[in-house]
């Protein structure tokens, strides 16, 4: 597995300091519009069966166990063309304080590659949260930009295009060149 800290230290991509937080609501994309909808159903004479949710261009993949903060999130295999800009979506809005640039974040996370849905890293597997100073260029740009505004106790999905991840360089096995990355991040505490 590749550690987010190791990846950030590799210097594979230029990192930027985040300028502002998110006012995203559950089911809202980075523009504040509602991108989540109820699963479609297929009706036949015999029964009604939920259709599998599908991610199309520019949408985050489904997280079937999104509301269960006591278990490692399962990220559905992304489908369609990856988005070209950062997508952040609060799956669970926390009830604690919001994190801001300059504060120390303590998070649990899972990361998968958009192209094949394979998991390349998860703090859950190490049994301890990952800590980093937000906005201090210690992690990839997509994290420094996508995490501000999260509330303690919240779970956020980030879909990070290559320009805010590792670009054309592959930082190691599991992340290819120009890979879009999908993370589900739980903010456990600040400081």
Is residue 23 among the annotated active site residues?
A: no
Return d(Cα 35, Cα 111) in angstroms, integer.
Answer: 21
Return d(Cα 190, Cα 119) in angstroms, integer.
Answer: 26
Is residue 140 among the annotated active site residues?
A: yes
Which of the residues 99, 140, 160, 185 is marked catalytic?
Answer: 140
Is residue 125 among the annotated active site residues?
A: no
Which of the residues 29, 120, 185, 186 is marked catalytic?
Answer: 120
Which of the residues 75, 87, 99, 109 is marked catalytic?
Answer: 109
Is residue 166 among the annotated active site residues?
A: yes
Which of the residues 29, 90, 121, 186 is marked catalytic?
Answer: 121
Is residue 90 among the annotated active site residues?
A: no
What is the DSSP annotation of 128-185?
A: S-EEEETTSSSS-HHHHHHSTTPBTT-EEEEEE-GGGTTTTS--BTTB-TT--EEEEE
Helices (H) and strands (E) in the chain, counts: 2, 8
Which of the residues 130, 160, 166, 185 is marked catalytic?
Answer: 166
Q: Could you give the count of Cα atoms lying within 13 Å of 37 in the half-sphere of its Cβ? A: 12
Is residue 109 among the annotated active site residues?
A: yes
Return d(Cα 191, Cα 189) in angstroms, integer.
Answer: 7
Active site residues: 109, 120-121, 140, 166, 183
């Amino acid at each position: 597995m590749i550690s987010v800290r190791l990846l950030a230290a590799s210097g594979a991509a230029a990192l930027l300091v985040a300028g502002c937080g998110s006012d995203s609501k559950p089911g809202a994309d980075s523009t504040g519009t509602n991108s989540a909808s109820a699963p479609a159903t297929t009706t036949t004479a015999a029964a009604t069966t939920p259709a599998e949710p599908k991610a199309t261009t520019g949408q985050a993949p489904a997280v079937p166990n999104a509301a269960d903060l006591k278990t490692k999130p399962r990220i559905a295999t992304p489908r369609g063309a990856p988005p070209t800009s950062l997508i952040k979506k609060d799956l669970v809005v926390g009830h604690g304080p919001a994190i801001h640039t300059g504060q120390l974040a303590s998070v649990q996370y899972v990361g998968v590659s958009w192209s094949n849905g394979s998991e390349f890293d998860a703090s859950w597997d190490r049994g301890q949260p990952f800590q980093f100073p937000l906005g201090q260029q210690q992690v990839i740009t997509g994290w420094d930009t996508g995490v501000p505004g999260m509330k303690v106790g919240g779970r956020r999905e980030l879909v990070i295009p290559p320009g805010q991840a590792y670009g054309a360089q592959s930082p190691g096995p599991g992340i290819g060149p120009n890979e879009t990355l999908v993370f589900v991040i739980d903010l456990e505490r600040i400081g």
